[in-house]
């Protein structure tokens, strides 16, 4: 009798987890397409260091504060080198479109050519969103299937808390 009750509880738990995963968008597909985004002009902060450094948090906070002043803007991140652990060095650029930032001192400008960008759209809660390696693999497979060069630079455009566009560009 106890084994049946435990079995039913385990099955109900698994069903609940699968339902929650579904409701959060965990089964949503990664939509990949080619888009002409023209020239992407960004202004922001470039950080090189460890993921837990206070300077990184301050860089994101500074850009978030600028974003609050311009609600129409979207946050962009470019990971030049991603850490594999908490103690590894990373290099990231975090910024907004330059048109939204007026006369802000100490910001780096980045200009990217995106006439034939491969864009992956991910719509899911951040807890169930696919990892960067899965997204990159899907974009690289798309490029190969369409005879396009493999993207080398990946720009994350954070549309909202549950939507991200990853823009793959060639250097």
Q: In the chain, where are the structural domains located?
A: 31-169
In this prediction the pTM is: 0.84
pLDDT per position in the chain (171 positions), as tens? Answer: 788 888 889 999 999 999 998 888 888 888 999 998 889 999 999 988 888 888 888 888 988 888 888 888 899 999 887 766 666 788 889 999 988 887 777 788 888 988 889 999 999 888 888 888 899 999 999 999 999 999 999 999 999 889 999 999 987
Give me the DSSP letters along the chain. Answer: -HHHHHHHHHHHHHHHHHHHHHHTTTT---EEEEE--EEEEEEEEEEEE-TT-HHHHHHHHHHHHHHHH-TT--EEEEEEE--SSTTS-EEEEEEEEGGG--S-TTPEEEEEEETTEEEEEEES-TTTPPPHHHHHHHHHHHHHHTTPPPP-EEEEEEEETTEEEEEEE--
Tell me which architecture the domain covering 31-169 has in CATH: Alpha-Beta Barrel (3.20)
């Amino acid at each position: 009798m106890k084994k049946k009750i435990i079995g039913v509880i385990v099955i109900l738990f698994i069903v609940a987890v699968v339902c929650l995963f579904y409701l959060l968008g965990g089964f949503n597909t990664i939509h990949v397409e080619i888009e002409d985004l023209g020239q992407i002009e960004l202004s922001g902060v470039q950080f090189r260091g460890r993921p837990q450094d206070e300077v990184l948090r301050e860089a994101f906070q500074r850009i978030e504060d600028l974003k609050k002043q311009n609600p129409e803007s979207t946050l962009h991140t470019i990971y030049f080198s991603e850490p594999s652990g908490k103690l590894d060095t990373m290099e990231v650029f975090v910024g907004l479109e330059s048109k939204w930032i007026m006369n802000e001192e100490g910001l780096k400008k980045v200009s990217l050519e995106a006439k034939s960008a491969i864009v992956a759209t991910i719509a899911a809660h951040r807890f169930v969103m696919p990892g960067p390696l899965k997204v990159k693999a899907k974009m690289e497979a798309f490029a190969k299937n369409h005879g396009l060069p493999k993207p080398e630079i990946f720009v994350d455009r954070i549309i909202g808390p549950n939507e991200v566009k990853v823009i793959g560009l060639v250097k």
